[in-house]
């Protein structure tokens, strides 16, 4: 237990926001089960590769250019991974958060429909490097961020996700929790940090309609804003005490089905960090269940793309809301939110990795296959979402057959997870894709990450001091 039941009940009676803040402020390394700490190391390796994969991408380099301009002359110990320069925690968190959300390979918590790593690890790493925290303290703060962010995402509910990018909104509080834990905020200060983070929470799905760069701005600002909220709270800067559940708080303005009980669900007993999934395909997670179901059909019946005349992806409404706006992708990034493009790449090439999208997203054969794909809302799939992301497809073939595919655990989910060697392979491929790090440099970084719990002081992973 993190604190005795009377203390927890008192905080919960005060407000769910206060209970969550108390948890985030009180969490210490010794409170966390060993499997959860190991899972956090896995998640960090996965995030590390995604962050490096953003190097060279125009939107990411634009944010890095902004950070250099605004932070010119400012010194710090926090590492910007894509450029290997040292700067202040604020700008390092901003750039690393943007970079790690670009190639669509960062992790996801299905129940919260939330990408924790991209808004938790950047501020946690930046603050840890700046203050010289231990590896155990970095892991603890990261888990605090995961537990808070996931619960806020679950609390805001399905209606929130229709309009808002939960990673940008809940992410601001996740970042505040991670940074605040490292800064040793007390419960009152952490609650103030939540208030300041929540009032800055933003991120609208309209970006997908245009394939706009602003999706990376969502994560950049969530990480930076949460970090800023924590530093301000340490100085006595106050924030709204009921920013989540208050009559003019986040739920009131951003949700129709918010459930305050989700905020305190199993604090210290249920470890949501361990529920987080890895992304196997380099595309929006909403495409993955149908993608895996189609692969199962192709592999079972030994089909080629030319033999497939029609694919119906049976999806939940959330997938329709996000993917339905992308009917004719005009860029690589927009293609990652196109169900037809993702299924086409898998049918034609057998995989949908970052290079597949770069090289083939608008190939004539991909475009042709995309026209054979449609999505329909499926009652079973929709009722199960977001707790379970079931994948179902109906496939029609040129010889007149109608075939069905189904998967209950997409690749990367906790029950169908990636091993440490697979995570390393994925991270190396992402780093080599962007030329951000060599295989040897990545192996050295892995050695540090797998032993984080024993590192006395967190330093740079790639930058030579």
CATH number for the domain harbouring residue 367: 3.30.1330.120
Q: Are residues 187 and 336 in the same domain?
A: no
Distance CA 175, CA 226 (A): 5
Residue 8, pLDDT > 50, answer no
The pLDDT-based confidence of 336 (bands split at 50, 70, 90) is very high
| Residue 465 in domain | no
228: CATH: 1.10.4100.10
Domain boundary among 213, 243, 275: 275
The pLDDT-based confidence of 6 (bands split at 50, 70, 90) is very low
Residue 386's domain spans which residues? Answer: 285-411
Q: What are 260's two structure tokens? A: 């305050």
Q: What are 414's two structure tokens? A: 């906790």
The pLDDT-based confidence of 325 (bands split at 50, 70, 90) is confident
Residue 340, pLDDT > 90, answer yes
Residue 11, pLDDT > 80, answer no
Q: Identify whether the C-beta of residue 291 lies closer than 8 Å to the C-beta of residue 337.
A: no
Q: What are 35's two structure tokens? A: 């499997």
Distance CA 97, CA 168 (A): 11
Residue 315, pLDDT > 60, answer yes
Q: Are residues 346 and 231 in the same domain?
A: no
What is the number of domains present in the chain?
2
Residue 189, pLDDT > 60, answer yes
Residue 166, pLDDT > 80, answer yes
| Residue 151 in domain | yes
Average the pLDDT over 194-216 and give the result: 95
Domain boundary among 369, 386, 411: 411
Phi-psi region of 56 (alpha: psi -120 to 50; beta: other; left: phi over 0): left
Average the pLDDT over 150-154 and give the result: 98
| Residue 119 in domain | yes
Residue 71, pLDDT > 70, answer yes
| 217-231 confidence digits (pLDDT tens) | 999 999 999 999 999
Q: Identify whether the C-beta of residue 234 lies closer than 8 Å to the C-beta of residue 194.
A: no
Distances (CA, A) of 430 to 193, 288, 329, 426: 34, 19, 23, 6
Q: Are residues 62 and 106 in the same domain?
A: yes
| Residue 424 in domain | no
Long-range contacts of 13-16 (CB under 8 A, 24+ apart): 15/241, 15/242, 15/245, 16/155, 16/244, 16/245, 16/260, 16/261, 16/263, 16/264
Average the pLDDT over 302-325 and give the result: 96
Q: Are residues 163 and 308 in the same domain?
A: no
Q: Are residues 196 and 104 in the same domain?
A: yes
The pLDDT-based confidence of 464 (bands split at 50, 70, 90) is low
Q: Are residues 243 and 301 in the same domain?
A: no
Average the pLDDT over 188-203 and give the result: 98
Residue 73, pLDDT > 90, answer no
Q: Are residues 83 and 181 in the same domain?
A: yes
| Residue 425 in domain | no
Burial class (CB in 10 A: 0-12, 13-18, 19+), 290: buried
Domain boundary among 411, 432, 460: 411
Q: Are residues 293 and 270 in the same domain?
A: no
Average the pLDDT over 203-224 and give the result: 95
| 27-70 confidence digits (pLDDT tens) | 999 999 999 999 999 999 999 999 999 999 999 999 999 999 99
Q: Are residues 131 and 200 in the same domain?
A: yes
Distance CA 314, CA 312 (A): 6
| Residue 439 in domain | no
| Residue 259 in domain | yes
> What is the share, in percent, of the chain residues with pLDDT greater than 70?
97
| Residue 445 in domain | no
Q: Identify whether the C-beta of residue 39 lies closer than 8 Å to the C-beta of residue 32.
A: no
Secondary structure of the chain in the HEC alphabet?
A: CCCCHHHHHHHHHHCHHHHHHHHHHHCCHHHCCHHHHHHHHHHHHHHHHHHHHCCCCHHHHHHHHHHHHHCCCCCCCEEECCCCEEECHHHHHHHHHHHCCCCCCCCEECCCCECCHHHHHHHHHHHHHHHCCCHHHHHHHHHHHHHHHHHHHHHHHHHHHHHECHHHHHHHHHHHHHHHHHCCCCHHHHHHHHHHHHCCCCCECHHHHHCCCHHHHHHHHHHHHHHHHHHHHHCCCCCCCCCCCCCCCHHHHHCCCCCHHHHHCCCCCCCHHHHCECCCCCCCHHHHHHHHHHHHHHHHHCCCHHHEEEEEEEECHHHHHHHCCCCCCCCHHHHCCCHHHHHHHHHHHCCCCHHHHHHHCCCHHHHHHHCCEEEEECHHHHHHCCCCCCEEEEEEECCCCEEEEEECCCCCCHHHCCCHHHHHHHHHHHHHHHCCCCHHHHHHHHHHHHCHHHCCCCCCCCCCC
| 239-297 confidence digits (pLDDT tens) | 999 999 999 999 999 999 999 999 999 999 999 999 999 999 999 999 999 999 999 99
Q: Are residues 350 and 248 in the same domain?
A: no
Strands in 391-397's sheet, in edge-to-edge order, are: 373-377, 308-315, 391-397, 402-407
Nearest-CA neighbor of 385 among 161, 208, 209? 161
Q: Are residues 255 and 129 in the same domain?
A: yes
Q: Are residues 196 and 108 in the same domain?
A: yes
Identify the bridge partners of residue 407 per DSSP, sorted by sequence position.
Answer: 391
Residues comprising the chain, all counted: 465
Residue 320, pLDDT > 60, answer yes
Identify the bridge partners of residue 310 per DSSP, sorted by sequence position.
Answer: 396
| 88-140 confidence digits (pLDDT tens) | 999 999 999 999 999 999 999 999 999 999 999 999 999 999 999 999 999 99
What does pLDDT average to over the chain?
Answer: 95
| 349-401 confidence digits (pLDDT tens) | 999 999 999 999 999 999 999 999 999 999 999 999 999 999 999 999 999 99
Nearest-CA neighbor of 247 among 236, 234, 260? 260
Residue 142, pLDDT > 80, answer yes
Q: Identify whether the C-beta of residue 324 lies closer than 8 Å to the C-beta of residue 313.
A: no
């Amino acid at each position: 237990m993190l604190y005795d039941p009377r203390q927890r009940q008192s905080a919960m009676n005060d407000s769910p926001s206060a209970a969550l803040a108390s948890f985030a402020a009180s969490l210490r390394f010794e409170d966390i089960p060993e499997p959860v700490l190991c899972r956090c190391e896995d998640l960090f390796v996965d995030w590390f590769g995604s962050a490096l994969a953003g190097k060279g991408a125009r939107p990411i380099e634009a944010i890095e250019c902004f950070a250099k301009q605004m932070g010119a002359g400012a010194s710090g110990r926090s590492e910007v991974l894509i450029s290997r320069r040292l700067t202040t925690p604020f700008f390092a968190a901003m750039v690393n958060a943007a970079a790690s959300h670009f190639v669509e390979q960062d992790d996801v918590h299905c129940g919260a429909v939330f990408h924790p790593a991209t808004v938790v690890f950047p501020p946690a790493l930046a603050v840890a490097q700046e203050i010289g925290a231990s590896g155990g303290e970095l892991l603890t703060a990261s888990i605090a961020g995961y537990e808070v962010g996931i619960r806020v995402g679950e609390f805001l509910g399905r209606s929130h996700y229709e309009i808002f990018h939960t990673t940008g909104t809940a992410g601001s509080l996740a970042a505040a929790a991670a940074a605040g834990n490292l800064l040793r905020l007390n419960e009152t200060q952490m609650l103030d940090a939540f208030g300041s983070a929540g009032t800055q929470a933003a991120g609208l799905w309209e970006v997908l309609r245009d394939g706009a760069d602003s999706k990376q701005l969502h994560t950049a600002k969530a990480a930076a804003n949460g970090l800023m909220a924590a530093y301000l709270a340490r100085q006595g800067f106050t924030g709204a005490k009921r920013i989540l559940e208050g009559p003019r708080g986040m739920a009131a303005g951003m949700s129709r089905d918010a459930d305050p009980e989700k905020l305190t669900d199993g604090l210290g007993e249920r470890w949501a960090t361990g529920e987080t999934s890895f992304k196997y395909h380099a595309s929006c997670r909403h495409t993955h269940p149908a993608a895996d179901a189609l692969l199962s059909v192709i592999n079972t019946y030994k089909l080629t793309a030319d033999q497939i005349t029609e694919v119906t992806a049976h999806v939940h409404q959330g997938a329709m809301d996000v993917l339905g706006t992308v009917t004719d992708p005009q860029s690589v990034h927009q293609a990652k939110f196109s169900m037809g493009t993702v299924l086409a790449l898998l049918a034609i090439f057998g995989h949908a990795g970052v290079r597949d999208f770069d090289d083939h997203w608008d190939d004539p054969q991909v475009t042709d296959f995309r026209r054979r794909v449609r999505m329909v809302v499926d009652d079973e799939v929709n009722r199960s979402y977001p707790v379970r992301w079931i994948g179902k497809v109906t496939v029609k073939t040129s010889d007149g057959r109608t075939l069905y595919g189904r998967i209950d655990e997409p690749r990367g989910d906790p029950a169908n997870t990636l091993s440490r060697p697979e995570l390393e392979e994925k991270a190396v491929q992402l780093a080599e894709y962007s030329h951000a790090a060599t295989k040897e440099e990545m192996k050295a970084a892995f050695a540090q990450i797998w032993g984080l719990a024993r590192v006395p002081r967190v330093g740079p992973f790639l930058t030579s001091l």
